[in-house]
């Protein structure tokens, strides 16, 4: 019998250090009013020197295990969505696999920028559908603070650090609480709109400097259209209407993008989960952090129809519909920030 994937555990970790919009005024030409009006962001978290993508991801993963009532030994695959891994190699997922005590589990990263978690979650559902995996840890973790140009007010005000994780496990076809439909797309011809160089970029050392470069206006336009079209398509694939959606959990990039997405879909903002005012754009981490907080706030209940949508550099985007099955120990997903293990 074909297996489908359902989420059974969620967890999040955000660093303790809070950088407010007022703090940014001291280092770049901006203001709280300017940032809040254009983005909806009021503050973001910044990783401590000892924290990394893998350490934060491992902490979020441990909390997801607790919420599912599982241990690392129950996990047979770890997939981490990130574009700020600790090293060029090994993958952050392998370090997370070790930290959570999942011996023998396969582990690899997926880099699709802000669409990384959606891509990783889609990979996990396919591993389950094929029978290759039974339980998969899907992590989104980023330390964008280390690849920002802190003199560029168009980018440095947008991003923050953090990690989120979900556990998906196999469930028989026909059981409630599983992924209904998914879609991934990309357009490499538009890669120059949002990118960061890396250690293997051709050219001298200056060319290889890993700093985020973004054409904000163009990305905004592409993001709204792409996410709306992908969302409408997966809703149709799932066999229900947009009005049937109980909660939209979008990538937390910009409030104006999210509002425009809701308008295009014809959904009231009451059905959209927002937490970007607290964390800014945490890239691959934003959707799993939001899912964990939605559980903590009682915004998700068994049987709810949920729409996930994301957009990022690449350009890359995706959407997914799922029926919420409920986590086993939701209180385990609500822990406040703590120091991630080194």
pLDDT number for residue 271? 98
- What is the pLDDT confidence band of residue 174, given thresholds at 50, 70 and 90? low
Question: Mean of the pLDDT values across residues 16-37?
Answer: 96
Return the structure tokens found at 274.
Answer: 């927002």
Question: Mean of the pLDDT values across residues 75-86?
Answer: 97
Which position has the token pair 């370090």?
95
Catalytic residue among 80, 222, 251, 275: 251
Does residue 173 surpass a pLDDT of 80? no
Active site residue 80: no
Return the structure tokens found at 54.
Answer: 């893998």
Active site residue 281: yes
Give the separation between CA 334 and CA 64, rounded to whole angstroms. Answer: 10
- Per-residue model confidence as pLDDT tens digits over 208-227: 888 999 999 999 999 999 99
Active site residue 114: yes
Return the structure tokens found at 266.
Answer: 């014809």
Query: How many secondary structure helices (H) and strands (E) does the chain include?
Result: 10, 13
Longest dimension (CA), the chain: 60
pLDDT number for residue 204? 86
Return left, alpha or beta for 205; rule: phi > 0 is left, psi -120 to 50 is alpha, else beta.
alpha
- Per-residue model confidence as pLDDT tens digits over 232-274: 999 999 999 999 999 999 999 999 999 999 999 999 999 999 9
**Residue 136: beta bridge partners?**
77, 168
- Per-residue model confidence as pLDDT tens digits over 264-316: 999 999 999 999 999 999 999 999 999 999 999 999 999 999 999 999 999 99
Give the separation between CA 237 and CA 246, rounded to whole angstroms. Answer: 17
Question: Mean of the pLDDT values across residues 69-85?
Answer: 97
pLDDT number for residue 327? 86
Task: Report the 10 Å Cβ neighbour count for 30.
Answer: 17
- Per-residue model confidence as pLDDT tens digits over 105-149: 999 999 999 999 999 999 999 999 999 999 999 999 999 999 999
The ranges assigned to domains in the chain are 1-333
Question: 1, 34, 341: which is closest to 171 by C-alpha?
Answer: 1
The CATH number corresponding to 1-333 among 1.10.150.650, 3.40.47.10, 3.90.1300.10, 3.90.1150.10 equals 3.40.47.10
Catalytic residue among 115, 254, 275, 281: 281
Which position has the token pair 């259209």?
225
Burial of 225 (0-12, 13-18, 19+ CB in 10 A): middle
By the 8 A CB rule, do 135 and 109 touch? Answer: no
Q: Which helix (H) or strand (E) element contains residue 153?
A: helix 153-156
Catalytic residue among 114, 115, 222, 254: 114
**Residue 221: beta bridge partners?**
none
């Amino acid at each position: 019998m074909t297996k489908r994937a359902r989420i059974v555990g969620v967890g999040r970790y955000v660093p303790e250090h809070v950088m407010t919009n007022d703090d940014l005024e001291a280092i770049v030409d901006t203001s709280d009013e300017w940032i809040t009006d254009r983005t909806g962001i009021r503050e973001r978290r910044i990783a401590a020197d000892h924290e990394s993508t893998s350490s934060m991801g491992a902490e979020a993963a441990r909390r997801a295990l607790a919420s599912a009532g599982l241990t690392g030994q129950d996990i047979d695959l770890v997939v981490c969505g990130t574009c700020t891994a600790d090293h060029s190699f090994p993958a952050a997922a392998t370090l997370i696999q070790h930290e959570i005590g999942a011996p023998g589990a396969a582990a690899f990263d997926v880099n699709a920028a802000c669409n990384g978690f959606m891509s990783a979650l889609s990979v996990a559902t396919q591993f389950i559908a094929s029978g290759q995996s039974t339980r998969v840890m899907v992590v989104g973790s980023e330390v964008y603070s280390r690849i920002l140009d802190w003199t560029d007010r168009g980018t440095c005000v947008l991003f923050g650090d953090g990690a989120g994780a979900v556990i998906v496990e196999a469930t028989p076809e026909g059981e409630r609480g599983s992924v209904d439909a998914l879609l991934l797309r990309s357009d490499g011809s538009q890669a120059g709109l949002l990118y960061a160089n890396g250690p293997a970029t051709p050219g001298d050392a200056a060319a290889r400097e890993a700093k985020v470069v973004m054409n904000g206006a163009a990305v905004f336009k592409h993001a709204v259209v792409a996410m709306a079209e992908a969302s409408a398509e997966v809703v149709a694939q799932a066999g229900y209407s947009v009005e049937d959606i109980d909660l939209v959990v979008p990538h937390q990039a910009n409030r104006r993008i999210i509002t425009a997405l809701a308008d295009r879909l014809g959904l009231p903002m009451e059905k959209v989960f927002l937490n970007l005012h607290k964390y800014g754009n945490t890239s691959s981490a934003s959707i799993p952090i939001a899912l964990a907080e939605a559980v903590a706030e009682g915004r998700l209940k068994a049987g709810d129809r949920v729409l996930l949508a994301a957009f990022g550099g690449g350009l890359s985007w995706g959407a997914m519909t799922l029926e919420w099955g409920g986590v086993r120990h939701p209180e385990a997903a609500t822990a406040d920030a703590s120091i991630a293990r080194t």
